[in-house]
Structure 1
Amino acid sequence: MVKVAVAGGSGQVSREIVDALLAAEKHEITILSRSEAPTNPIAPGIRWQKVDYDDKNSLVETLRGTHTLLSFVQMLSDPDQKSQKNLIDAAIAAGVKRFAPSDYGSKDIVDMPWWCGKEIIREYLRKVNEKEKVLEYTSFQPGLVLDYLAYPYKTSKYLDPLQTVFDLANRRAMVVEDYEDAVITFTTVSDLAAIIARAVDYEGKWPKTGGIRGNRITFSQIVDIGRKIRGSISVTKVKVEDLEAGDLKSSWGLQAVHHAVADDQARALLKQVAIGFLLSSSKGAWDVSDDFNQIFPDSEFTSIEDFLAGVWEGKP
């Protein structure tokens, strides 16, 4: 048994991970949050600690005795990533052994400026460990959450549906012309949670890049699966040069935005997200490594075809 702290532990993805840790019945779990503890406890045995990420000294005291710190700190509202930097500094001062930053996505952040904070934190972790290793860390990278391809249907306990360029509900998709074979990794949030729970128990050294390959698949293969399951998929092909110019030449666009984004920012960000996802995919950003697949070779992952067939069976 070890003490695990989950920063930003009341969020949607983090709640999925907390449930997986609880199911293991091995660890003492503390949720760190800017908010007061909810009236109804999340689960028996979980400790809730309200924190101020600007108060490093308080963070150090809160983290004393913690073995593993998982961060799900919201990045969009903190462009300089001060909160996570303070959290890292406090973890080092408190003697925390392991840290996972708020990453949980693509391998690279090229053409995805809304995620520039991820690279800031990756570089900060490299810097603090430059002279000697003071904090073991990994960036869990499962690619895109497969559950999003079920939009508008909810397939997990906490994670809300999110629209992507693969809009199976309306039988349509966007693909970059000449990059139909660009690779994307998809992993269900439940499979991600299972790997993280195992990683917490793992006694070996964490890899700095923690790739998790649930499904490694191309755009054209996704379209083929979509057609098999949904009957037809209309494909809009967009050109790299248009995307590079900030122009999304498509008859449709994304409409469902992440819950953390303010309404007045949504329209511009949705266009930016579609362009960024398509461009970054063409440059290999979503073709993540298989580090944790190798560490846990017996792990089983939900196949994209089985998942989508189950979601869309009987749906209009």
Structure 2
Amino acid sequence: MVKIAVAGGSGQVAQEVIDALVAAKKHEITILSRNASAGNSTPGVTSRAVNYDDKSELVEALQGIHTVLSFIQLLSDPENKSQKNLIDAAIIAGVKRFAPSEWGSAETKDMPWWVGKGKIREYLKKVNQNGKVLEYCLFQPGLFLDYLAFPYRTAKHVAPLNTMFDYQNRRAIVVDGHDFIMTFTTAQDIAAVVAGAVDYDGEWPVIGGIRGNRVTVSQILKIGEKVRGRPFAIDAVKLEDLEAGNLKTSWTLETRHSSVAEDQAAIFLKSVLIGTLLSGAKGAWAVSDELNRILPDYKFTQIEDFLAKVWEEKP
């Protein structure tokens, strides 16, 4: 049993992980939030409101904590001050393990909405440059497999979002000449692996790849055509157009994340689509498998089984 602090605990991914940790019935969990509700009815879970601008308050909140899992929303922390303060406080408080707010791709180049991840990676390297003072792991599960079920919800907390693979309307956007690899992992599997990593007695790897499914774009389309009953309409975009910020497609993303303001949604969604395609062509979504090797007995949800079940008898 260890004491775990979950920063940004009201977020969707955080709640999936909290549920898995609670189900394990092994740990004491403190949810840190800017607007924590008074009390928590779940046994073994407490909520605490914190000011991420007040480092001394964070140090106090982290007293006795073994592991910090951060899900701080990057869009609300553009200068990365909250996470840097959290890291500093964790070191002062004697926290053993820290997981920054990653939960996505291996690389972040060409994804401006995730620029903070790169800066926090560098910050964590710097704090250990003269000797390890904080064990940390970058949890990287690729893209949520649940998103290929859009508009249907398959996770308890992670809301449906559409992607360049639109199974509902049997269409997709691909990069011409680039059949790149992507990693898809269900929200449930991600949460279970994080819970397993918390229990792991060895040292956490710095890169924590979680490889639920490793598939090429063409394989994703082939599975889609199989479970949806007919070929997909394909929009193929040029890499050089994406590099120039041009999106020449017949459709685009429509569903914004709750962290994105409605008046910024159209510009943001265009950026996300361009960035996901561009980074994918450069290998950003082909994540590694460090945590698969640490937890060799864990059985991941397989993409074809998952999608066949989701789309069975759907119009």
Tell me the residue number matched to 1:80.
79
| Residue 80 of structure 1: how far off its partner (Å) | 1.2
Over 4 Å off, 4+ runs: none
- Picking from 213, 219, 222, the partner of 1:224 is 222
The two structures, once aligned, show a CA RMSD in angstroms of 0.9
Structure 2 residue 132 is matched with structure 1 residue 137: no
Tell me the residue number matched to 2:303.
304
Aligned ranges for residues 262-301 of structure 1 at < 5 Å? 262-301=261-300
Tell me the residue number matched to 1:26.
26
- Picking from 213, 216, 228, the partner of 2:211 is 213
User: Using the alignment, how far apart are the partners of 2:20 and 2:309 within structure 1?
Assistant: 22
Partner secondary structure for residue 30 of structure 1 = strand
Letter in 1 for 2:265: A
User: Using the alignment, how far apart are the partners of 1:98 and 1:288 within structure 2?
Assistant: 22
User: Using the alignment, how far apart are the partners of 1:76 and 1:60 within structure 2?
Assistant: 24
Structure 2 residue 108 is matched with structure 1 residue 109: yes
User: Using the alignment, how far apart are the partners of 2:182 and 2:117 within structure 1?
Assistant: 19
- Equivalent pair of 2:11/2:71 in contact (CA under 8 Å): yes
Please give the per-residue CA displacement for 1:18-71, whole angstroms capped at 9, x wherever unaligned.
0000111000000000003157x3523311000000000010011010000000
Tell me the residue number matched to 1:203.
201
Letter in 2 for 1:217: V
Letter in 1 for 2:15: R
User: Using the alignment, how far apart are the partners of 2:28 and 2:43 within structure 1?
Assistant: 11
Tell me the residue number matched to 1:11.
11
Letter in 1 for 2:59: V
User: Using the alignment, how far apart are the partners of 2:221 and 2:121 within structure 1?
Assistant: 33
Would the alpha carbon gap of residues 224 and 88 (structure 1) be closer, same or farther in structure 2, given more than 3 Å must change? Answer: same
Farther off after superposition, 198-207 or 41-50: 41-50
Tell me the residue number matched to 1:313.
312
User: Using the alignment, how far apart are the partners of 1:274 and 1:263 within structure 2?
Assistant: 17
Partner secondary structure for residue 152 of structure 1 = coil
User: Using the alignment, how far apart are the partners of 1:36 and 1:9 within structure 2?
Assistant: 9
Structure 2 residue 89 is matched with structure 1 residue 96: no
Tell me the residue number matched to 1:259.
258
Would the alpha carbon gap of residues 14 and 136 (structure 1) be closer, same or farther in structure 2, given more than 3 Å must change? Answer: same
Letter in 2 for 1:158: H
Please give the per-residue CA displacement for 1:200-237, whole angstroms capped at 9, x wherever unaligned.
00010000000010000000000000000112211111
- Equivalent pair of 2:66/2:97 in contact (CA under 8 Å): yes
Tell me the residue number matched to 1:44.
43
Partner secondary structure for residue 121 of structure 1 = helix
Tell me the residue number matched to 1:189.
187
Gaps of 5+ in 2: none
Letter in 1 for 2:303: I
User: Using the alignment, how far apart are the partners of 2:163 and 2:258 within structure 1?
Assistant: 15
TM value normalised by structure 1: 0.98
User: Using the alignment, how far apart are the partners of 1:236 and 1:106 within structure 2?
Assistant: 23
- Equivalent pair of 2:27/2:44 in contact (CA under 8 Å): no
| Residue 12 of structure 1: how far off its partner (Å) | 0.7
Partner secondary structure for residue 249 of structure 1 = coil
Tell me the residue number matched to 1:250.
249
Gaps of 5+ in 1: none
Question: Aligned pairs, how many?
Answer: 314
| Residue 314 of structure 1: how far off its partner (Å) | 1.2
Would the alpha carbon gap of residues 38 and 267 (structure 1) be closer, same or farther in structure 2, given more than 3 Å must change? Answer: farther
User: Using the alignment, how far apart are the partners of 1:255 and 1:47 within structure 2?
Assistant: 36
Quick one: percent identity of the two aligned structures?
63
User: Using the alignment, how far apart are the partners of 1:3 and 1:194 within structure 2?
Assistant: 17
Please give the per-residue CA displacement for 1:143-175, whole angstroms capped at 9, x wherever unaligned.
001001111000011111001000101110001
Letter in 1 for 2:2: V
User: Using the alignment, how far apart are the partners of 1:237 and 1:223 within structure 2?
Assistant: 13
| Residue 75 of structure 1: how far off its partner (Å) | 0.6
User: Using the alignment, how far apart are the partners of 2:36 and 2:137 within structure 1?
Assistant: 29
TM value normalised by structure 2: 0.98
User: Using the alignment, how far apart are the partners of 2:32 and 2:78 within structure 1?
Assistant: 20
Tell me the residue number matched to 2:233.
234
